[in-house]
Amino acid sequence: MSPRREKLTSPQTRIALARGNRPAQHLLPIPGPVDTEAARRLFRTQRRTAVRTVAALAVLLFGMSGAFAALPVLGEIRLFGVPLSWLLLTVAVHPMLFLMALWHVRSAERVEERAEAERPAGERPAGERER
Amino acid sequence: MISVLAIGSVLVTSLVIGVYGVRAARSTSDFLVASQRVSPSWNAMAIAGEYLSAASVLGLAGLVLKNGLGTMWYAVGFAAGYVAVVALVAGPMRRSGAFTVPDFAEYRLGAPRLRQLCGCVVLVIMLLYLVPQFKGAGVVLSLVSGTPYWVGVLLAGLVVSGSIAAGGMRSATYVQAFHYVIKLTFLAIPAIYLVVYSSPDTRAQALHPEWGTHFPEPTPVEFTVGARFSLDEPVTVTTPSGAEVGLTAGDHSVTAGTEYVFPEGAPIPYPAGLPELGGQLWSTPLLDVGGYPLFETWSALLAITLGCMGLPHVIMRFHTSPTARTARRVAVGVIGLLGLFYLFPTVYGLLGRVLTPQLVLLQGTDTVAVVLPAEAVPGTAGAVLTALVAAGAFGAFLSTSSGLLLALAGGLSHDLFQGSVPRLRLAVAIGACVAVLLALPARTIDINVLVVWAFTVAASTFCPLLVLGIWWRRLTLAGAASGLTVGVVTATGAVGWSILLPTPPGWIAVLLAQPAAWTIPLAFTTMIVVSWFTRAPDWAEHAVLRLHSP
């Protein structure tokens, strides 16, 4: 489906608005979700996914630097003439970071698709799409 | 001369694309909606183009030369920051509809007054980030054209504020994308050329730092600043008048203006406080300045990885994606593009240790990427390669600093003083002036030290605000405000102290120079504890849930 047109203001308009003559809490009230329980479930699942990715990232970064400190032998083994620790730090780590981010996006999108599929079709006001 | 031409053509091309891009954008009804139709790959290139600053293009190679391989952890952190962004903030930030962190604070906590505090923090971060960019521009310009350092800095300030005033530098995604391509190719082509055409002997020396570092040819070293250095064995140097001076093994100090010619094959003296070039410390891939390598590495990693999500000009970019889902995918693309780019700075650092080791003595390692090609490849080819790197560095400086300056000016006029549009122009001028004035005395401070400082402040302030604001419904206004205050004071103060004032040796020096390991947990704890004692409003849960509803 084609993305809905969104109403956004330019920075200039926002500055003009910020000058005054508007209620203090202009972004509120926030409309509540149609099904609060489902939204809570989705939130918790997404939080689990995020925690998992951040944990994996921490293991990769701290683990790799820890390995360099604990195993000096990594600097002595050479691959194509280059010390292994140098290769890991300057080359190999980047594809790993990329795959990690890709893995997170896949998981997060799958969670969102499942939430969409579970939601009964009629319950969804059109204006709520993609904010 | 070729370098000046190359820099000029990068400048002109960006202006042309910028003007053309602005005209195309104005033809549609709404500029921002137009920019949301930019394809994800262009968008990712634009983000990477803005993100890769002078710290990445010039600073990393210089740090590898000076402090060793461990400094490539900075590059890993810069890329890993985007993994944290993908996991924690990209999607929800896009859904919140907030353009900046102050906007988000107002959305999530409903208090316009928090906006001013956030505005102050934006100011601190952006200034800390802007100063090293101007420094990089000044150093590169004075290298390629021979003008004094301050002329380069001043000119850089004028060019950037002028291009913002002309409009469009920031607005056009294509300019930023163009700068990514410039930076990648102009750094990659000389690097590949240097690797392929340097002698097998040079390559082997670059990969075997344990063979020691020696001057490759008789090298004149002119100390423009006073320096202290150590020698492992005695060396006989000559002064310009032809007199021979015998330097014994041990410590020496020279005054500014001294000039020595080191003979071929002489061991490289290393400045006091730095690891021996090519020694054990240098080639172990950990950050080690104060003697606690693992702690320093982890603290720097925390600062950079978590700081990335708090950078105001990074956050703003998610709004060029049409949906939260695309925003996440774009961020993944950015990681790929950054990884590709970060393959190259190491090449300059490793070859620089073999071919231009005197830069360490001269405290000019930030210039290694520009100096090296001309040293390694004599004649026209070397001049062309130098021109490429200089132009790439200038592109880095231009795209990052115009984005930064605009975020700074926006913070000044919009969040702090509730200004109008003419005031935005004034704020650009004020921001540029302050940054130039701060950059003038910063010549000998490493680009990356300042950039990591900015990341540390961002990680200790906006990172907890965003992470808790997005993932924890009980965050309250009082908690956010006190956490931000604690974070900005401790992070700014600690690093500032370690740079500007003498520090006691040992643990304290390390804790002050790399404070992220304690300032980030401190800011998180303050926010959580104060929030526990205050009550979040009823709508807080809806505000959180809404950020996660597809």
Residues B181 and B139 in one domain: yes
In a shared domain, residues B39 and B112: yes
**Residue B208 within a domain:** no
| Shared-domain flag, residues B315 and B173 | yes
B419: chain A residues, CB-CB within 8 Å: 15
Both B468 and B388 in one domain: the answer is yes
Residue B273 lies in a domain: no
Predicted confidence at residue B528, as pLDDT, reads 92
> Where are the extended beta strands (E) located within A1-131?
78-79, 82-83
Whether B33 and A8 lie within 8 Å, measured CB to CB: yes
More confident residue, A7 or B314: B314
Q: Quote the crossing angle between the two packed helices B516-533 and B477-500, to the nearest 10°.
A: 160
Are residues B383 and B469 both part of a single domain?
yes
> Out of A3, A62, A128, whose CB is closest to B298?
A62
Nearest to A69 among B294, B323, B329 (CB): B294
Q: What is the pLDDT of residue B225?
A: 66
- Containing domain of residue B319, as a range? 2-202+280-548
- CB pair distance less than 8 Å for B419 and A93: no
Determine contact: A122 vs chain B, CB below 8 A: no
HEC secondary structure over B75-140: HHHHHHHHHHHHHHCHHHHHHHCCCCHHHHHHHHHCCHHHHHHHHHHHHHHHHHHHHHHHHHHHHH
Nearest to A90 among B204, B298, B346 (CB): B346
Which residue in A12, A94, A118, A128 has the most chain B C-beta atoms within 10 A of its own C-beta, making it the best mutation to test that interface? A94
Q: Which of B267, B292, B310 corresponds to the end of one domain?
A: B267
What's the rounded Cα separation, in Å, for the pair B326 and B346?
Answer: 32
Closest CA to A108 of B245, B324, B233: B324
Are residues B259 and B332 located together in one domain of the fold? no
Do B302 and B376 lie in one domain? The reply is yes
Specify whether B482 is located in the same domain as B543.
yes
Of B76, B343, B420, Cβ closest to residue A61: B76
Closest CA–CA distance from residue A3 to any residue of chain B (Å): 8
Is B86 part of the contact surface with chain A (CB cutoff 8 Å)? yes
Residue to substitute from A90, A111, A130, A131, interface B, most B β-carbons within 10 A: A90
Q: Does B426 touch chain A (CB under 8 A)?
A: no
Q: Which chain B residues are Cβ-neighbours of A115 within 8 angstroms?
A: 550
pLDDT band at residue A28 using 50, 70 and 90 as cut-offs: very low
How far does A94 lie from chain B, in Å, by closest CA? Answer: 5
Tell me whether residue B21 is in a domain. Answer: yes
> Do residues B121 and B256 share a domain?
no
Beta-strand runs (E) in B317-456: none
**Domain-ending residue, one of B223, B243, B267:** B267
Phi then psi dihedrals of residue B321, to 5 deg: -95, 145
pLDDT in tens, A108-118: 999 888 888 87
In a domain, B245, yes or no: yes
- Cβ of A53 and B83 within 8 Å? yes
Confidence of residue A94 (pLDDT cuts 50, 70, 90): very high
In a domain, B272, yes or no: no
CATH of the domain at B544: 1.20.1730.10
Query: What pLDDT does residue A3 have?
Result: 63
Q: Does any domain span residue B207?
A: no
pLDDT above 90 for A97 = yes
The pair of structure tokens assigned to B22 is 């602005």
For chain A, give the mean pLDDT. Answer: 75
Task: List the pLDDT tens digit at each of the 550 positions of chain B.
Answer: 677 777 777 777 766 766 665 554 443 333 333 445 667 888 888 888 888 877 777 888 888 888 888 888 999 999 999 999 999 988 888 888 777 788 888 888 877 778 888 888 888 888 888 888 888 888 877 877 778 888 888 888 887 777 766 654 445 567 778 888 888 888 888 888 888 887 777 777 777 776 766 676 777 777 766 667 777 777 777 777 777 777 777 777 777 777 777 777 777 776 666 666 767 777 778 777 767 888 888 998 999 999 998 887 777 777 777 788 888 888 999 999 999 999 898 888 888 888 877 777 777 777 788 888 888 787 788 888 888 888 888 777 777 887 788 777 777 766 666 555 556 677 778 888 888 888 888 777 777 788 888 999 999 999 999 999 889 888 888 899 999 999 999 999 888 888 887 777 777 888 888 888 899 999 999 999 999 998 888 778 888 888 887 7
**B137 within 8 A of B152, measured Cβ to Cβ:** yes
Q: Could you tell me if B190 and B234 lie in one domain?
A: no
Cα separation, A113 vs A129, whole angstroms = 14
Q: What is the pLDDT of residues B176-225, one digit of tens each?
A: 788 888 888 888 888 888 888 877 777 777 777 767 666 767 777 777 66
Same domain, B414 and B542: yes
Same domain, B169 and B219: no
- Is it the case that residue A27 has pLDDT exceeding 60? no
What total number of domains does chain B contain?
2
Distance of CA B235 to the CA centre of its chain: 38
Do residue A14 and residue B414 have CB atoms under 8 angstroms apart? yes
Distance of CA B121 to the CA centre of its chain: 18
What pLDDT shows up at residue B275? 66
What ipTM does the predicted assembly reach?
Answer: 0.85
Q: Coil, strand, or helix at residue B223? A: coil
User: What phi, psi does B122 have (nearest 5°)?
Assistant: -55, -45
